[in-house]
Amino acid sequence: MAFRIVHYINQFYAGIGGEEKADYKPEIRTGVVGPGMAFKGALKGEAEIVATVICGDSYFASNMDEAASAIIDMIREYKPDAFIAGPAFNAGRYGTACGAMCEAVSKEFGIPVISGMYPENPGVEMYRKHAWIVETPDSAAGMRKAVPAMAKLVLKLLKGEAVGRPSDEGYIERGIRKNMFYEKLAAERCVDMFVSKLKGETFETEYKMPVFDRVDPQPAVKDMKNAVIALVTSGGICPKGNPDHIEASSASKFGEYDITGVNDLTSETYCTAHGGYDATYADQDADRVLPVDVLRDLEKEGVIGKLHNKFYTTVGNGTSVANAKRFGAEIVNRLVNDGVTAVILTST
Amino acid sequence: MKLELQKLNVKSLKFGDKTGFSDGVLAINKAELIALISEDPMLGKNIDADIAMPGESVRIMPVKDVIEPRWKIEGKGQVFPGMLSDVETVGEGKTLVLSGCAVLTAGKLVRFQEGIIDMSGPGADYTPYSKTCNVVLILEPSDPNMDKHDYETACRMAGLKAAAYLAKSCSGLQADSTEVYEMPKIRDAMNSYPELPKVGYIYMLQTQGLLHDTYLYGVDVKRILPTLISPLEVMDGAIVSGNCVSACDKNSTYSHLNNPVISDMLKRHGKDFNFVACIVTNENVTLADKRRSSSYATKLAAMLGLDGVVITEEGFGNPDADLIMNCRKSEQLGIKTALLTDEYAGQDGASQSLADSCPEGDACVTAGNANEVIKLPAMKKVIGYQEEANVIAGGWQGSLSDDGSITVELQAITGATSELGYTKLGAYTL
Amino acid sequence: MCTIVPISQTVGANRIVPTIAIPHPLGNPSKTPEEEKILRRSLVERALKALQTEITEQTVFTE
């Protein structure tokens, strides 16, 4: 039996119209529409486009969440094994819609999602971590090149075959690290690379040094005497026994703990869940990581308005930036809702 | 300096009346071994020893360290100087090696950082210690409330004692194979191979406290300034592990003894470069220490006039800062670098793999993403305590299923992403 | 508040207060509990000062 694919295209490729029809609301049609015909040949009967979703680019752009969830509902009954969006070439709004739908479908159904775009399409930067995006030329003239490449990759994914490097498979680098066993020990690979570098030969690093986001500095606190200060830590301080089982490494969650009436963290009441540093000192006196005692004094003396009655904690050990970002966003939400003025973050 | 490694190839293990080696079989007098270990009052009464062979349906956990049995049969000093024996300099003469054999210290957990070794199944592919014939020590503290540092010391010493004992008991036999290593004096090394670049190895050791320490001639390495060491001293056990950073990227004592970076650099010495020196350095917990040690280690490299250095890290997170400092400072001194590390890119591989970064780190090899998740099917036999899967680094509450299978990140598997490069694992970017 | 300032700089923290050591950023076990609390207080005060300082770029508050 052939694999089932649902295809996403915009109003233009569905033959409905150009910019004047870009507010076209999503609909689903059984079978292939527009470029789906070309995929039909390229999929060689191993997979079949069972339905095609059509949505106007402007409509999608102005109603992203709503459109995506409506489309998800439409797709459900077709029980797809994979999802193809586009190719969008260098069309920005179309590319963004393709990327967003790929992300939504992948989240909802956990199936392979694939699109095709020109590398400079803004949809690439936004969604390359969420979808396989085959590199295409910048205009529809490249359809004949894009479709076979996308079909080949989607079949590979459907069959569960290992996907090679971007340059070998023709997709745009997703920035996702995947383990593999090499022919040689890592030590030998390192000495090989070392020798190439010494000799001035070309070599390819196995990992390009990472880059991190930047955020604009927040304005200063004007009135500390009336400020509510919260404590947040990646040092794993938690009530003794780690009641929420925060992982010793690669944390999947953070803890929120009430410290109303707590003036000092002691070895009887608090410990660390962190598995990445010598816990002896934090277990003896958790104030060494989370300075509740000092902030209580400062609160009493009126230096700060109030120490927030909850602290937030996670384990920074081997925890991915993606998880940390997720925790950060959620913690900030809660702090803002609780009227916290500023946060002291401690890390180990 | 010349060291001869006389290797007996251990292909099988058995418990027997007399500890000794014959026809590829290492026989172990279990009572004698346990009696030796039990001499330490810090260890409890229920000490046991077991054996685990490659391919068996056996899981060993939590594992603290892995040690290859060695014993010096000629030359100054004895293996594991400053720990088990006197502080006399090692690295010369003849050393007996029970090749293919390892002592594993297991039993009651010290801290979260200990690991899993499966002798068969998918987990076995990731640990180098599923391919060795393993003598497993199952340890416990004599007092359950014992200070963890004391218990860690007791476990570490038990492993070293057992390893030395096993090798010592096999001395006097004809070796199956012999490897000879020679390191010239630095004065002579400097004058040899004038056409080749002079290179070194910056050997970073984890030194951050309980289950994060490493010892050099018995000295806690957090207290040293970076210094020179001969690779031959390393082969005699001058460096001993007292850590399980996370189990995957702990450099076990076994992997120090068999450091694959050193052996590959020795292999290519005289052909691709002139391997002049090995510099050991630490990864401490204060910024001043990190700055001091990286400045000092790279200064030694510059004093020696090195053209390039291979740098290996131990651990992850804050030691990434040490790695980056060593890299940047070397390059600023005109010394080319290649880095060996591992990655924490998240379970989905989509996050940044390192906590620190510098543009000079353009030659970087990694031993894989330690966050990648693996399912380890149930094993017929478990040596140790399987329930610790829920608390060790790389596991979570629920890692151990009712059916005995364990779902964990690779970081829970001993040696899986060895930053001495002792496995073939690596990663690539999708 | 962190010990390994270069990491905080790399990952993009804006107001950075250097601390004592990784396992005890706001303490020093070699001091008496009283001395330790004075030390901790001085670091927290520095953090409060950092919060009250307008900045336009990443800034390390060493005093």
**C15–A217: do the CB atoms touch at under 8 Å?**
yes
**Mean pLDDT for the stretch of residues B396-407:** 96
For the cut 90, the answer to whether the pLDDT of residue B113 exceeds it is no
Out of A182, A207, A322, name the one closest to residue B351 (CB): A322
For residue range B14-34, list pLDDT tens digits in order. 999 999 999 999 999 999 999
Residue A206 resides in a domain: no
For the cut 80, the answer to whether the pLDDT of residue A78 exceeds it is yes
CA–CA gap between residue A309 and residue A328 (Å, rounded)? 18
**A276–B423: do the CB atoms touch at under 8 Å?**
no
Helix, strand and coil content of chain B, in percent to the nearest 5, comes to 25, 35, 40
Pairing of strands B219-220, B212-216: antiparallel
> What is the phi-psi region of residue B334: left when phi exceeds 0, alpha when psi lies from -120 to 50, beta otherwise?
left
CA–CA gap between residue B372 and residue B366 (Å, rounded)? 14
CA end-to-end distance (rounded Å), chain A:
55
Residue in the block written with tokens 């353009």: B362
Same domain, A146 and A256: no
| Both structure tokens of B411 | 């970081």
Same domain, A38 and A157: yes
CA–CA gap between residue B140 and residue A296 (Å, rounded)? 41
Domain enclosing residue C22, as ranges:
5-60
Q: What is the 3-state secondary structure (H, E, C) of B5-69?
A: EEEEECCEEEECCCCEEECCEEEECHHHHHHHHHCCCCECCCCEEEEECCCCCEEEEEECEEECC
Residue B386 resides in a domain: yes
Residue C38 sits at φ, ψ, to 5 deg, of -65, -45
**A285–C14: do the CB atoms touch at under 8 Å?**
no
**Mean pLDDT for the stretch of residues B83-89:** 94
**A348–C23: do the CB atoms touch at under 8 Å?**
yes
Interface of C with A (CB under 8 A): 1-3, 8, 10-12, 14-15, 19, 22-27, 29, 33, 36-37, 40-41, 43-45, 47-48, 51-59
Confidence grade of residue B303 (pLDDT, cut at 50, 70, 90): very high
For the cut 90, the answer to whether the pLDDT of residue B175 exceeds it is yes
The residue count for chain C: 63
Same domain, A38 and A143: yes
- In chain B, the residue whose alpha carbon lies closest to the alpha carbon of C4 is B287
| pLDDT, position B91 | 97
Of residues B133, B155, B244, B248, which has the active-site annotation? B244
| Both structure tokens of B46 | 């229920």
**Mean pLDDT for the stretch of residues A153-160:** 96
| pLDDT, position A1 | 72
Same domain, A95 and A241: no
Residues of C in contact with A277 (CB under 8 A): 22-23
Confidence grade of residue A300 (pLDDT, cut at 50, 70, 90): very high
CA–CA gap between residue B241 and residue B245 (Å, rounded)? 10
- In chain B, the residue whose alpha carbon lies closest to the alpha carbon of C7 is B356
| pLDDT, position B212 | 82
On average, the pLDDT of chain B sits at 96
User: How many domains is chain B built from?
Assistant: 1
Q: Are C17 and C59 in contact (CB under 8 A)?
A: no
Domain enclosing residue A149, as ranges:
3-169
Chain A 112-171, CB below 8 Å of chain B: which residues? 129, 163, 165-166
| Both structure tokens of B35 | 């009696």
| pLDDT, position B429 | 95
For residue range C2-37, list pLDDT tens digits in order. 999 999 999 999 999 999 999 999 999 999 999 999
Hey, of A206, A208, A319, which one would you mutate to test binding to chain B, going by the most B CBs within 10 A of its CB? A206
Q: Are A137 and A89 in contact (CB under 8 A)?
A: yes
- Which residues have C-beta within 8 Å of that of residue B420, sequence separation ≥ 6? A187, B251, B255, B256, B259, B260, B261, B312, B340
For residue range B304-358, list pLDDT tens digits in order. 999 999 999 999 999 999 999 999 999 999 999 999 999 999 999 999 999 999 9
User: How many domains is chain C built from?
Assistant: 1
On average, the pLDDT of chain A sits at 96
For the cut 90, the answer to whether the pLDDT of residue A221 exceeds it is yes
Hey, of A229, A288, A304, which one would you mutate to test binding to chain C, going by the most C CBs within 10 A of its CB? A288
DSSP-assigned letter for residue C38: H
Confidence grade of residue B209 (pLDDT, cut at 50, 70, 90): confident
Measure in Å the smallest separation between the Cα of C42 and chain A Cα atoms: 9
Whether A318 and chain B come into contact, CB under 8 Å, resolves to yes
| pLDDT, position B210 | 78
- In chain B, the residue whose alpha carbon lies closest to the alpha carbon of A247 is B396
Q: Can B244 be counted among the known catalytic residues?
A: yes
Q: Minimal CA–CA distance to A170: which of A138, A141, A137, A139? A: A137
Q: Are B49 and B27 in contact (CB under 8 A)?
A: no
CA–CA gap between residue A77 and residue A72 (Å, rounded)? 10
Domain boundary among A169, A193, A216: A169
Out of C4, C10, C11, name the one closest to residue B287 (CB): C4
Residues of C in contact with B208 (CB under 8 A): 22-23
Domain enclosing residue B35, as ranges:
2-412
Q: Are B413 and B123 in contact (CB under 8 A)?
A: yes
Residue A189 resides in a domain: no
Same domain, A15 and A82: yes
CA–CA gap between residue A131 and residue A202 (Å, rounded)? 31
Residue B108 sits at φ, ψ, to 5 deg, of -45, 135
**Mean pLDDT for the stretch of residues A46-71:** 96
| Both structure tokens of B130 | 């599923």
For the cut 90, the answer to whether the pLDDT of residue B99 exceeds it is yes
Largest separation between any pair of C-alpha atoms in chain B = 64
Same domain, A16 and A157: yes
Q: Is B233 helix (H, G, I), strand (E, B) or coil?
A: helix
For the cut 90, the answer to whether the pLDDT of residue A199 exceeds it is yes
| Both structure tokens of A166 | 């971007």
For the cut 80, the answer to whether the pLDDT of residue A57 exceeds it is yes
**A322–B363: do the CB atoms touch at under 8 Å?**
no
| pLDDT, position B214 | 96
Q: Are A96 and A122 in contact (CB under 8 A)?
A: yes
Whether C7 and chain B come into contact, CB under 8 Å, resolves to yes
Helix (H) / strand (E) containing A313: strand A310-313
Same domain, A165 and A252: no
For the cut 90, the answer to whether the pLDDT of residue A158 exceeds it is yes
DSSP-assigned letter for residue A11: T
Same domain, A110 and A10: yes
**Mean pLDDT for the stretch of residues A315-344:** 96
Q: Among positive and negative, which fits the CA dihedral A141, A67, A327, A217?
A: positive
Same domain, A156 and A53: yes
> What is the phi-psi region of residue B395: left when phi exceeds 0, alpha when psi lies from -120 to 50, beta otherwise?
beta
**Mean pLDDT for the stretch of residues B166-181:** 96
Q: Are A82 and A47 in contact (CB under 8 A)?
A: yes
Q: Is B389 exposed, middle or buried (0-12, 13-18, 19+ CB in 10 A)?
A: buried
Same domain, A149 and A20: yes
For the cut 90, the answer to whether the pLDDT of residue B413 exceeds it is yes
For residue range B1-18, list pLDDT tens digits in order. 999 999 999 999 999 999
Q: Cα–Cα distances in Å, from A189 out to A182, A286, B316, B363?
A: 9, 43, 20, 11
